[in-house]
Amino acid sequence: MIDFTLQQLVLRLCALVFIAGVHGASVAGLACALGDQGPRYDRRLRLNPLVHLDLLGTVSGVLFLAGWMKPIAIDPAELRQGRIGLVVDVVLINVLPIPCLTGGHILTAVKPMWRDRFRRSQPYAALLLTLLAALGVVTGALEPAYRALAGSVLGE
C-alpha cells in the first residue's frame, strides 16, 4: 500500500526534482561527450530540474511511485558509437558494484550485511568515481566489456 501522507508526498516530490536534474544533466552530458551536441543546444545540459521535469510524469511519480521526465532528444547519427553505444555505456556503468550506483544497491540486496558499510562509503565512492571518470579510467576499464556487449548486440 502506498503511503499518501503529506510528509511522504513532499519527500517524493523533493526526491524526483533532485533526481530529474541530476539524471537529465547526466544523460545530456553523456550524449555530448559521445558527440551529439543537440542536448547542449536544447539547453538540457544543466542541473536545473525544471528543464527536465515532465508535469504528468512528476505527478505520477509522486502519487504512484512510477514517473518519468521529458525525453532528451539525441541524434544517434551524431553519436560516435551510435545509439547502442549510449545504452551500453549507461548499462555497464550502472551495474558496477559501487555503493553510489545501481549495482551497489543490487549487491546490498544480495548481501544485506554490507548495507551499512556501503551506505557510509557512498559519498566517498561517488567522489572517487567522478574523479576516475574525469581521468578516463572508467571508460578505459569498461572498454573490453563495451566491445563484447556492443559486438553481440550489433552482431559484429
Read off the pLDDT of residues 100-156 as tens digits, 9 standing for 90 and up. Answer: 676 776 777 778 888 888 888 888 887 887 787 778 787 777 778 777 776 666 565
**Among 80, 115, 140, where does a domain finish?**
80
pTM of the model: 0.57
- The residue ranking higher by pLDDT, 32 or 97, is 32
Q: What is the mean pLDDT of residues 51-63?
A: 90
Structural domain count, the chain = 2
Q: What is the mean pLDDT of the chain?
A: 81
- Residue 7 banded pLDDT, cuts 50, 70, 90: very high
Q: Alpha-carbon distance 67 to 33, whole Å?
A: 26
Q: What is the pLDDT of residue 156?
A: 56
Cα 139 from Cα 152, distance rounded (Å): 19
Quote the domain boundaries for residue 91. 81-156
The Cβ of residue 31 has, within 10 Å, a number of other Cβ atoms equal to 24
Q: What pLDDT, on the 0 to 100 scale, is given for residue 44?
A: 92
Domain end residue (candidates: 80, 95, 122): 80
138 touches 144 (CB < 8 A) = no
Q: Does 88 lie in the same domain as 73?
A: no
Same domain, 2 and 74: yes
The answer on 67 and 97 residing in a single domain is no
Residue owning grid cell 552530458: 29
pLDDT tens, 132-147? 777 878 777 777 877 7
What does the pLDDT read at residue 53? 93
